[in-house]
Amino acid sequence: MEEKLNGKRKRNIVKIIFISILIIAIVIYAGYMAWKLLANPTDVFLVEEGSISQEQRAEGYIIRDETKVQGNNYKNGMVQIKAEGEKCAKDENIFRYYTTGEEELIDKIQELDEKIDEAQKNDTSSIYYGDIKLLDEEIDMRLLEISRNNDIQKISEYKKEIEDYIAKKTDIVGENSEAGSYLSNLIQERKNYENQLNSGSEYIKAPMSGVVSYKVDGLEDVLTPDDFSSYNRSFFESLNLKTGQTIATNTEAGKVVNNYECYIATILKKDQLNEMEQGDKLNLRLSNGDEISATVDYLMEQTNDDVLVVFKITKDVEKLISNRKISFDIIFWEYSGYKVPNTAIIKENDLAYVIRNRAGYLDKVLVKVKKENDTYSIIDNYTSDELKEMGVNSSELDVSTKINMYDEIQTVANKES
């Protein structure tokens, strides 16, 4: 009986030891797996269309082919004939300066118009009422157009037409009125004031064809495209310009800008060039998100690893007229396609793979890496001809060669490249 109890105790001890060893093994294994997961955590990434790019943030100075124009009577204030951003031809009037005492002259002309109208109403002679009525209708139509229009040039045109109609009207009345003496004196007096008004106005003509702008900052003759070699970091810093600041509208001068091309000059370090060379074509992204095409027109190494880069812009020049110094992104290249994290790419023997997860079943997929940046890659499938040319036999490698949209692939954080 005692032997049976001793045997039972021994068996229990063996079970306890075995269970203890099993528990310890499970704990050790769980700890190992937890450590492995923490050391190389995995995640699932959905394959989708996307794009990647290589970019460099920069600050640049806008250089234009532009000519400032200013007349002698700039202290009188100006009237814009061509609006901001409007195109003009060479020798076309773009703005004018007010005549000295212009408001007083206009008031006198208006007073005379009222007197002429009153004289016409009181005149009982046989005049051409039909012609007068037609002219009055034309004047009323132009006045209505002025009240509806915000275009300065159009308003100026309508005012000129009104003046012409009034002149015709007064001429008709003066020729046919029985009270011709009084009316003729009024008409002549009005003409004298009108001549005084027109002769005293200083009209400014465009020195070249282009776009009219009143964003004049005094740098029109300083930042020119004549000699890029004279520009460097210290020169730009001496201008004391604020990035993104809008140039104020000038009330004394204007300018005409070549709307076919302009330039953006920036200073980069050598390690920021990303193998950029003169003649390269790329895109620049402005601070508002717009992208514009550019060509590397000039590139010159300077001191302290500085490199002067000048981009030439031949489209959307008008977008840059309001600024002189801007921040922008240089987009060296951009690719689109299946976008995946670099942590999902496994490289073996000069080939690239991803691990696809389908309902817990993992398989290795051979992929072509078209382009990569620091974070993501654009991948694609090899064609059968490409695989044949590479000498790759997928059956021998025991891998798939087809990745699809919305496939789930594994990523590994902190993956060693």
Identify the residue whose tokens are 């045997």. Answer: 7
Per-residue pLDDT at 37? 43
Contact (CB, 8 A) for 369 and 338: no
The pTM of the whole model exceeds 0.85: no
Q: What is the pLDDT along the chain (417 residues), one digit of tens a residue?
A: 555 555 556 666 666 776 777 777 666 755 554 454 444 455 788 999 999 999 999 999 999 999 999 988 887 778 888 999 999 999 999 998 877 656 666 666 677 677 677 666 666 554 555 666 777 777 778 777 766 665 666 767 777 777 777 777 666 655 555 555 666 676 766 776 666 656 557 889 999 999 999 999 999 999 999 999 999 999 999 999 999 999 999 989 999 999 999 999 999 999 999 999 999 999 999 999 999 999 999 999 998 899 999 999 999 898 899 999 999 999 999 999 999 999 999 998 889 999 999 888 888 999 999 999 989 999 999 998 888 888 887 666 778 889 999 999 998 755 544
Residue 120: the pLDDT is 63
Which pLDDT does position 126 carry in this prediction? Answer: 47
CA distance 54 to 149: 47
The pLDDT of residue 236 is 96
* DSSP letter, residue 271: G
- pLDDT digits 0-9 by tens, 371-388: 999 899 999 999 988 888
Structure tokens belonging to residue 186: 């009024």
What value does the mean pLDDT of the chain take? 82
Eight-state DSSP code of residue 177? -
What pLDDT is recorded for position 58? 97
Cα–Cα distances (Å) from 307 to 172, 238, 240, 273, 343, in that order, read 73, 18, 20, 9, 34
User: Do 397 and 356 meet the contact criterion of CB atoms below 8 Å apart?
Assistant: no
Q: What is the topology classification, in CATH, of domain 57-66+212-333?
A: Elongation Factor Tu (Ef-tu); domain 3 (2.40.30)
Torsions phi, psi of 18, nearest 5?
-65, -45
The model's pLDDT over 243-268, given as tens digits with 9 standing for 90+, comes to 999 999 998 999 999 999 999 999 99
Fold classified for 42-53+337-412? 2.40.420
